[in-house]
């Protein structure tokens, strides 16, 4: 009998299918782990302008879903995505602390592409308090990293290293900062493991269809950690997986376009 590695995402539903739990479950499938989900928020988009309408789920219902999986089933690793308010961040943090989750990846989602204003600034403090201390890896983009580090902006690799060191003080074991939009025609990913800064440098992939890249990246790290990879191996795998999927990304309509999650497997 085949028993797959089981991995959990605690995240929002993006009904367009490109980000959130939908992206996470597609990533889990591609990385050959069994995916499970706890839905924290429902996101719908207005067809005219793609304005995001965000409906948080009652924390009691989040608890019911969570307990179905932990302790009800068990999971080798987990990730979090969009957690829309302080109460939900605290609830999820307490549930994971109680469950003693061995491999927890925190994707500190603060904005959706296409919406410029931060979702809820007070959430940053709650993430620092309830989630980062129990995280094995935290995966902010440059905007989220600046918020978590209390810096104005991240404009260079030096800024990113400074932010990573500050974020590390919150108790997480590893900080990954995605620099996709910062370095003119280049892109780079930083991993700070508490001792050393490691960089993966690349040419930027020229596409505007990047919806769900961050979600898929953190989901891939969680899947690989669940299968027993080291943090460095999981980070490199996620970097390659998302780059391949970005090369195959496509538009859904004039507003949004997701990654092609099968790109790596099909070698397109």
- Under a CB-based contact definition with an 8 Å cutoff, are residues 241 and 264 in contact? yes
Our finding on whether 82 is near ligand PXL (CB under 6 A) is: yes
Binding residue for ligand PXL, selected from 76, 109, 132, 242, defined by CB under 6 A? 109
Residue with Cβ nearer ligand PXL (199 or 250): 250
Instruction: Give the whole-angstrom CA distance, residue 43 versus residue 82.
Output: 10
Binding residue for ligand PXL, selected from 5, 7, 10, 20, defined by CB under 6 A? 20
Give the binding range for ligand PXL (CB under 6 A) out of 109-117, 173-181, 186-194, 221-229.
109-117
Our finding on whether 12 is near ligand PXL (CB under 6 A) is: yes
Q: Which of 189, 230, 237, 193 is nearest to 216 (CA)?
A: 237
In whole angstroms, how close is the CB of 14 to ligand PXL at the nearest point? Answer: 4
> In a 3-state reduction of DSSP, which class is residue 32?
coil
Q: Which residue has the tokens 């927890």?
A: 104
x-or-dash pattern for ligand PXL, window 211-240, by CB under 6 A? -x-xx-------------------------
In whole angstroms, how close is the CB of 35 to ligand PXL at the nearest point? Answer: 15
Cα 52 from chain centroid (whole Å)? 18
Our finding on whether 242 is near ligand PXL (CB under 6 A) is: no
Residue with Cβ nearer ligand PXL (53 or 267): 53
Report angle CA 89, 260, 258 to the nearest 5 degrees. Answer: 55
Q: Which of 34, 75, 17, 43 is nearest to 261 (CA)?
A: 17
Category of 248 on φ-ψ map: left (φ > 0), alpha (ψ -120 to 50) or beta: alpha
Instruction: Give the whole-angstrom CA distance, residue 170 versus residue 237.
Output: 26
Our finding on whether 257 is near ligand PXL (CB under 6 A) is: no
Cβ atoms within 10 Å, residue 194: 11
Per-residue tokens: 36: 């499970």
Residue with Cβ nearer ligand PXL (79 or 103): 79
Our finding on whether 137 is near ligand PXL (CB under 6 A) is: no
Our finding on whether 160 is near ligand PXL (CB under 6 A) is: no
Name the CA dihedral angle for 86, 238, 156, 148, rounded to a multiple of 10 degrees: 10
Residue with Cβ nearer ligand PXL (82 or 134): 82
Binding residue for ligand PXL, selected from 19, 154, 220, 229, defined by CB under 6 A? 19
Residues in the site for ligand PXL, rule: CB under 6 A?
Answer: 11-14, 19-20, 43, 81-82, 109, 112-113, 212, 214-215
């Amino acid at each position: 009998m085949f028993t797959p590695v089981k991995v959990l995402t605690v995240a929002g539903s993006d009904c367009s299918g490109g980000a959130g739990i939908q992206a996470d479950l597609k990533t889990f499938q591609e990385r050959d782990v069994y995916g499970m989900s706890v839905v924290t928020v429902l996101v719908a988009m207005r067809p005219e302008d793609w304005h995001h309408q965000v409906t948080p789920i009652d924390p009691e219902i989040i608890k019911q879903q969570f307990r179905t999986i932990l302790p009800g089933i068990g999971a080798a690793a987990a990730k979090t995505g969009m957690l829309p308010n302080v109460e939900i961040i605290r609830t999820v943090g307490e549930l994971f602390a109680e469950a003693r989750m061995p491999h927890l990846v925190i994707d500190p989602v603060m904005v959706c592409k296409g919406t410029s204003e931060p979702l809820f600034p007070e959430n940053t403090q709650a993430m620092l308090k309830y989630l980062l201390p129990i995280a094995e890896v935290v995966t902010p983009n440059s905007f989220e990293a600046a918020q978590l580090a209390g810096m104005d902006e991240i404009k260079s690799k030096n800024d990113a290293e400074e932010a990573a060191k500050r974020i590390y003080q919150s108790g997480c074991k590893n900080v990954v900062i995605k620099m996709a939009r910062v370095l003119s025609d280049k892109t780079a990913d930083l991993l700070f493991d508490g001792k050393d800064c490691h960089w993966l440098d690349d040419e930027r992939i020229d596409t505007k269809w990047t919806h769900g890249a961050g979600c898929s990246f953190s989901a891939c790290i969680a899947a690989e950690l669940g299968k027993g990879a080291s943090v460095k191996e999981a980070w490199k795998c996620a970097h390659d997986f998302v780059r391949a999927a970005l090369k195959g990304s496509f538009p859904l309509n004039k507003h949004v376009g997701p990654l092609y999650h099968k790109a790596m497997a099909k070698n397109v």
